[in-house]
Amino acid sequence: MSHIGYRGKGLEFLTKNKIEIGDLVKVQTDSTYSGILMPRYEHSDDEHIVLKLKNGYNIGLQIEKIIKIEVESRHSVKKENITQLRTDPKLPKILLISTGGTIASKIDYRTGGVYPALTAAELNASVPEISEIANIDTEVLFSEYSENLLPEHWIKIAEKLDSYSRSEYKGIIVAHGTDTMHYTAAALSFSLSGFPKPVALVGSQRSSDRPSSDAALNLISAARFLVETDTSGIFVVMHNSISDDEVACHWGTRVRKNHTSKRNAFQTIGGSPAFIVKKDVIEKDPLFSPLKKTYNPRINFDSQVMLVKYYPGLDPKLIDYAMSSGYKAIIFEGTGLGHVGKVMHESIARMKRNGLFVGMTSQCIDGIVRMTVYDSGRDLLNLGVIPLGNMIPETALVKSMWALGNTRDINEMEKIMQENIASEISD
């Protein structure tokens, strides 16, 4: 009998009533609830049972307050019938590459977790509206939560996209987890600068089995964006509001995730989204003007870079440790206009003497690093710290990994980091 996570009173209660995880049950307390019995976490108490209600949310019920519980239906594993979507020769073709994440997830009623189990074909079939926009080919590259992705994964995605740079596809969707999507978007923007097709990284803040999921609309909007706009480059396509009225297409180097759970978690920093997909129209930001670059893929990264958020009390030994451990570059997330305390100056000077790159961004959400305004900033400039304009700290980190992967010359790296490669530095 499956009672994962239940023990003590909880296990005794379920065993007595012959109820297993995954069963649909009706529970009477001060109110009546109907839902699927879910597992408990390993360290949960033994005083409650957990149901997943029909609205997709979980509720905990105290055992002592349960008057009656009965099974409405037993859990059974049904094989899903994935049918091939029809094709229309008049429609353009787009490719959907799956890498994992919540957009490609379902609830596992055995463990209670959300897991990346949907294949790209299942994802395609679950949103049949896409077949009215384009003919979809699907491919699973890997299936990982985005927090597990490494620069090696960025390389695999970039190499896969590069292999389709001259293909017949109008554009490419990359299904991706949201937690590190902006890192991947930046990595692709630099390594595939000038990519001749539009690429839409698409995720979901809420898994596709939940009624409040944003997965379907994000995918549909991404397909429309790829087909109906004449643009190219790397974009993040996610909800632009908490409702279902519009979806934003963010430029890949100017976006970050600013909320843990809202559907409109992603925002363009320092401007507006490049495009807004609405029900009847796709609006382009009048200020959006992508850089014209000849496509020249350089798919290399070196992860020996550290992103350091400065704070009062930061021990400079951390910088010394990074240098002694083989790190080749430091990106500071400094205060205000781009400052760190003078307690860091000696360590920074040692880094520069040893030929390491030191770049400065700001921990302020918006605005430009200006290190000539105060003496503290000018002192850092004299030490050799490179100001990085209004580059987002995460984007600067990824860019420095990419730059370091393509040159070992510190002067060349400094030049690359200050050059606007993929609109990472905006006016």
Residues with catalytic function: 102, 178-179, 257
Q: Integer distance in angstroms from the first to the last C-alpha of the chain? A: 62
Q: Do residues 60 and 50 lie in contact, with contact meaning Cβ atoms separated by under 8 Å?
A: yes
Q: How many C-beta atoms lie closer than 10 Å to residue 71's C-beta? A: 15
Q: How far apart are CA 379 and CA 383, in angstroms?
A: 6
- Reduced to 3 states (helix: H, G, I; strand: E, B; else coil), residue 257 is strand
Q: What DSSP string describes 399-413?
A: HHHHHHHH---HHHH
The helix (run of H) or strand (run of E) holding residue 343 is: none
Look up residue 172 and give its two tokens: 């490419």
Reported as type and span, the H/E element at residue 351 is helix 345-353
Residue located via tokens 């959400």: 365
Q: State how far the Cα of 389 lies from the Cα of 181, in Å rounded to an integer.
A: 22
Contact 158, 165 (CB under 8 A): no
Do residues 115 and 67 make contact, with C-beta atoms less than 8 angstroms apart? Answer: no
Q: Contact 237/198 with Cβ under 8 angstroms?
A: no
Cα–Cα distance for residue pair 202/188, rounded to 1 Å: 14
Residue among 34, 36, 33, 43 at smallest CA distance from 6: 43
